[in-house]
Amino acid sequence: MWFVDALYRDHAEVEDRVKAAKRTGLGLLPSTSWQLSTAWILTATTAADLDAWTRLLLLVDRRQRRQARAIGPRRRLTYLRGL
């Protein structure tokens, strides 16, 4: 039973990563040109990877990482107040 639970939790994490990648621009291809679309996909996946690593390194608590979405933590973690 614990194996099935772990398998489904892992699958849910993958689905969350795909949703986050779509929110960072992977779901929006800008052009019908193959070269531009390839560059867009590369840039969007790089942004999704940076977002995932930033959350992994800065959100220490596992519960915070689970609750974090692509838009909220990015604003929270990269926002700097004016002095």
Of the two residues 63 and 53, the one the predictor is more confident about is 53
pLDDT at residue number 48: 81
Backbone angles phi, psi at 27, to 5 degrees: -80, -5
Cβ atoms of 48 and 71 within 8 Å: the answer is: no
Residue 74 has pLDDT above 80, yes or no: no
Least confident span in 17-26, 37-46, 54-63, 69-78: 69-78
pLDDT at residue number 66: 61
Task: Encode pLDDT of 29-57 as tens digits.
Answer: 767 888 888 888 888 888 888 877 877 77
Per-residue pLDDT band for 77 (boundaries 50, 70, 90) equals low
Residue-wise burial string across 13-30, b where 16 or more C-beta atoms lie within 10 A, e elsewhere: eeebeeebbebbbbeeee
Task: Compute the distance between CA of residue 71 and CA of residue 48 in angstroms, rounded to an integer.
Answer: 11
Task: Compute the distance between CA of residue 27 and CA of residue 83 in angstroms, rounded to an integer.
Answer: 37
